[in-house]
Amino acid sequence: MQSYKVVATFPHDTSSFTQGLVFADGELFESTGLNGESTLRRVDIATGNTLQRIDVPKQYFAEGLALVGDELLQLTWQHRLGFVYDRKTFTQKRTFSYATEGWGIAYDGTSRLVMSDGSDTLTFLDPKSFSSTKTLKVRDAGRPVTNLNELEWIEGEIWANVWQTDRIARISPATGDVNSWIDLSSLFPRQQRMPPADELNGIAYDRAARRIFITGKKWPRLYQITVS
C-alpha cells in the first residue's frame, strides 16, 4: 500500500455527486450523477465555482468523463448511452452506445479510451468509432478486483477508484495486474463526512504539471496529492 501527501486543498461544490473528473490546459471538467441532478460542468479549481454547466436530461444518471481532442465524452449508468459535447460550448454533438453499464472512462492522450462497468473488466474503445478493441480482466495477486469505477490514465497506468472503498488501484493496461494500491481512507475520514458527503470518487491528472487531483461525491474539498 502506497502512502500519499496532500500538497494543496481547494473548495468543491457539495452539490456535485462526482462521477467523472478531467483536468486539461488549466481547466477542470466534472460530470455529476443522480437522476435529475446530473450535469456537465466547467469548474474554477481555485474557488470551486461552476463557470459553465449543462444539465443532463432527468432520465439519465451521468457517470464517467473523458476529453478527446476538443470533445468531452460523458457516460450514463444504465442506459448504455454516451454523450459527446463540444469542449468550449458544451453543445451536444452526437451520442454513442456501448454494451455494458457505464461507470468510468479515461483517455490515454493518444489512441485509447478505457471504460469500466462496475465489474472486474475494463473495456478498451476506439476513440473515433467507440467500438470495443479489447477487454482486460483486472487482478490483484490473481484475485479479481470488482467495482472498478472512475478512471484516469496517469503516466502509463490506469488509476481506478474502487466503489465502496477509499482505495485506488494502479493498474497495468498491458496485463490488468494491480501494480500497487493507494489507501486514501485518511484523506477525508468517513467519520468526518457529514451528509450529503458520500464516497471517494474522482481522479484528475494535470499532464503538463504532473499534478494529481482527488475528490468524492458531494465532498466539500478537492485535494492535490503526491504519491510516494
Burial grade of 140 (CB within 10 A; 0-12, 13-18, 19 or more)? middle
Q: In what order do the strands lie in the sheet with 113-116?
A: 105-107, 113-116, 121-125, 132-137
Report the sign of the C-alpha dihedral through residues 46, 48, 49, 55, in that order: positive
pLDDT at 2: 87
Q: How do the pLDDT tens digits run along the chain, 228 residues long? A: 889 999 999 999 999 999 999 999 999 999 999 999 999 999 999 999 999 999 999 999 999 999 999 999 999 999 999 999 999 999 999 999 999 999 999 999 999 999 999 999 999 999 999 999 999 999 999 999 999 999 999 999 999 999 999 999 999 999 999 999 999 999 999 999 998 889 999 999 999 999 999 999 999 999 999 998
pLDDT in tens, 30-53: 999 999 999 999 999 999 999 999
Give the model's pLDDT for residue 228: 83
Distance, in Å, from the CA atom of 27 to the CA atom of 49, rounded to the nearest integer, reads: 12
Going by the DSSP 8-state scheme, the letter that residue 189 receives in this structure is -
Place of cell 471517494: 200
**DSSP conformational letter for 192:** G
What does the domain layout of the chain look like in residue ranges?
4-227
Q: Are 127 and 114 in contact (CB under 8 A)?
A: no
Q: What residues form DSSP beta bridges with 170?
A: 159, 180
Quick one: 4-227 is in which CATH superfamily?
YVTN repeat-like/Quinoprotein amine dehydrogenase (2.130.10.10)
Given this model, what pLDDT does residue 85 score?
98
pLDDT, residue 199, reads 92
Beta-carbon contacts of 46 under 8 Å, excluding residues fewer than 6 positions away, are 10
Classify each residue of 213-228 as buried b or exposed e, where b means 16 or more C-beta atoms within 10 Å of its C-beta.
bbbbbbbbbbbbbeee
